[in-house]
Structure 1
Amino acid sequence: MRDYPYDSVMAERVLGQGYLYLLTAMAHRGEKLGLAPGKIVDIGVHTIILDTVAFFDLCDRFNGGQYLHHVPKVDFKNDGSVMRTAHLIPADGWEVDLSLWADAADYSPCHPGSDSH
């Protein structure tokens, strides 16, 4: 989070939602839901995956030992995927911070229809 001007409270919120996005994506592996984190939450996701040792451990513990690959998609579109993801998180028993998912209008899955972020 060092590259972003977040105070410790905002950094914790962004990282927390990044983890919840990743855990949700892992819990729904193989369902081809086209999940997406949104621009702000994606900052947390990228911060998490760049710590490769910790991310590999997360994948090992919560993704059946399979690495959750990062396959970025360059084009953004308004397809509803971010809000679908934001609503799936509490359905899985986690607390979503909807204000961090509010940029849903211009974001799409990193790689639609796959088991990657």
Structure 2
Amino acid sequence: MEKHGRHLGLGCGPLIDIAVHGFILDTVNYREFCRRHFGGFLEHVPEIEFKYDGSVMKTAQIIEGSGFRIDWPLWERDGATCTPCYHGSDCH
């Protein structure tokens, strides 16, 4: 989220997307996470289409490089797939 707008081609696969949405629904913990890591609440705009460009593993590596622990087997499950984009955009 902190790299948004830098056109790095980041995103998650379908399995991680489900987990992220589950976390967002836990609004108390999601709000605190956003405050602690980003200084304020981050809005979520659901994406509806997945592209298959191989950016899932790149995303995991960048997240890990930012100091977060990665559950590699979870990310690798969708490693060959791609990230969500909204219709009409080329978000990568």
Give the TM-score normalised by the residue count of structure 2: 0.71
- What one-letter code is carried by the residue in structure 1 that aligns with 2:46? P
Cα-to-partner distance string for 1:11-43 (whole Å, 9 max, x where unaligned): xxxxxxxxxxxxxx23x3443434212222222
2:65 corresponds in structure 1 to 91
2:25 corresponds in structure 1 to 50
Question: Are 1:105 and 2:75 counterparts?
Answer: no
Cα RMSD for the two superposed structures: 2.3
Q: Are the counterparts in 2 of residues 90 and 96 from structure 1 also a CA contact under 8 Å?
A: yes
In structure 1, distance between residues paired with 2:19 and 2:36: 19
Mark the runs of 5 or more structure 1 residues left unpaired by the alignment: 1-24
Cα-to-partner distance string for 1:73-106 (whole Å, 9 max, x where unaligned): 2221112221111111222233322211121333
Moved more, 46-55 or 29-38: 29-38
Q: How many equivalent pairs are there?
A: 87
Aligned-residue identity in percent = 46
Q: Are the counterparts in 2 of residues 80 and 104 from structure 1 also a CA contact under 8 Å?
A: yes
Select the structure that is richer in helix: 1
**Structure 1 segments of 4+ aligned residues over 3 angstroms from their partners:** none
Give the TM-score normalised by the residue count of structure 1: 0.59
In structure 1, distance between residues paired with 2:8 and 2:24: 21
CA 1:86 to 1:35, structure 2 compared with 1: closer, same or farther past 3 Å?
same
Mark the runs of 5 or more structure 2 residues left unpaired by the alignment: none
